[in-house]
Structure 1
Amino acid sequence: MTQPCTASSLRPAGASGTDTPAAGPVAAGGAIGAARQAARLSVAPMIDWTDRHCRAFHRLLSRRALLYSEMITAPAIIHGDRARLLDHDADGPAALQLGGSDPAQLAQAARIAAGWNYAEINLNVGCPSDRVQSGCFGAVLMKSPALVAACVRAMQDASPVEVTVKCRIGVDEQQPAEILPAFLAAVEQAGVRRVIIHARKAWLNGLSPRENREIPPLDYPLVHAMKAAFPALHLSINGGIGSLQEARAQLAVMDGVMIGRAAYHDPWAILGQADALWGETPPLAAPLDAALAMRGRIAAHLAAGGRMHQITRHMLGLFHGRPGARAWRRILSERGAGGTLQDYDAALTAAGG
């Protein structure tokens, strides 16, 4: 049975060292306003999927959507290869998601990340994987709202951009109708003004991470009720939303919509048309335009010693439901690991290019 996380001190600590000095919280408006506008539609943080190559591809499809990094643990940023973990293409709104439960570590990671031009830093309070539980962060933190509040206060003191939270509606035997409003009240009191709510409970014992994305029932009405109960919070809804039509329906109630796997597996249907949600014309007219636009990035990546599949694995669904889609996927899947630009051109030809 999982237990609530604890910390030796719930201090809003400022970590010492030679990292970039904290700039303090940013006033409402400016970068915060831009991030909130972008959060009308966001692409969920997905481990092993939403890396910098994926986000560069997604940014081609939408100028406006808010793109999240994979979850990166605070210790990884503090002790690891910061450039590899944090580098991204900064020509559109991007958010960094951190995992952790130690306020001092999270503050230090937020301070370090200040040099990478993210529009937002998000705390993961929703991932149900065993690895995350063993580290006492992710969804298990739903059991420790006071610790979450301490973490976000520390991050706010260290971050020049807005700190947000992504959570579940509850975990295990918790009653979502009771725990979720209490959790939101705690983070709001700690200074959080924007929260993304995955509209499913997480079962930390008995369900795999994949099952936790599919088996617990969605409770959209509860999340909608939270918007009514917390009108000052900017609330986005996540979970099971598979089309822009569904996103539009949710936006009639919620401030924002976060889409995960649907945006990844069918990126043109979601992101290729997404900018219409802001009343703008999408930047590209057809999936082939995106595939052609990525060619230069792939060529540069190969010239630098990278492997083609590091980019093209994120593009397999680009022609979903269209003639040539199967051949596109097959060529990129079979040749991607050691692929050349000629292999990519063969996939383009198969897709109609």
Structure 2
Amino acid sequence: MKFNSKAIHGGQEDIDPAYGAVMPPIYQTSTYAQASPGQHKGFEYSRSANPTRTALEKALASIENGTHGLVFSSGLAAIDAIMKLLKPEDEVISTNDLYGGTYRLFNSIFKDFGIKFHFVGMSNPETLATYINKNTQMIWVETPTNPMMNIIDIKAIAEITQKHHINLVVDNTFATAYLQQPLNLGADIVMHSATKYLGGHSDLVMGSLVTKDKQLAEKLHFIQNASGAIAGPMDSFLALRGIKTLHLRMQRHSENAKAIAGFLVQHPSVNQVYWPGLTSHPNHDIAKRQMKDFGGMVSFSLKGDNLNDAIKFLERLKVFTLAESLGGVESLAGHPASMTHASIPKPEREKLGIVDSLIRLSVGIEDDTDLVADLDHALNF
């Protein structure tokens, strides 16, 4: 099936056998009756597996062109599971411009367990050779990155990881499988904060992993069950519902982001605009090659780089809501330095371009003229 059909039908071969429900039912149960010890219908206890969660995991595997899907109680729980594949003295090379929560988990939790992290720029994949050694077990990539919208060449990184027998993990949260499919480009694991675009309605918290590798899947399933950070049936149902309109939403997100980026580039109060669809973007050609479109996330900085100006702008918004998170149908605005990336030390933030006036927009699916008018009003402080 093509992607639009997969979003609706992928992995959902079986109609509910009880009553023929078109949508997978919400199995709000912790345990399952057995006819005799060990004789059951595929489910024993809902930490290990739940029919609603299993339906979602199959759907996620389908849209990412993988064979094994797993869902967790949050995006960070999914990342935590990946890190538990490692052991002390292992090394990870990570994107230096990445979600603050990921950085915090790596640098403040797993570093204390003896895992070494290298946070490096990956715009030029050839620079990774400097950091790879016998202890390197994983390369962690975000693309587009959060919040600077840097684009990393997944295929080029995959050629390096395959040569050195290193696992490549790609955080695909900003792009989603509609815009970009990392497994097709050589990644071993694709990760999502399903809280964002996959759910799409700002009403759940969830993480997901998809892989084609049976051995990796078995290890991750063991970690999922042993650690217990699983997604509940209600959230799984909501995510399944969200995925069914993913293709429609992502196209509108991208269209609206294009209109907003075009407006911001020409505004006299704006210093820099970060959106992969701009031809001025440093890796625009790579984005054009590995993405179907350029997504709904736009970041920009104000001239003068004044924190008070950023605050004034955010407080004047009417249609955009000042809030954490992203990927919902409604437009959100955030201040990375004090919100999503506050856990990264200020000197490190500024090296990455996360200055005090940087604003991150999650462009929703409202009418683009209303969104542009709101930004125009807020910029005239």
Fold-level similarity (TM above 0.5):
no
- More helix by percentage: 1
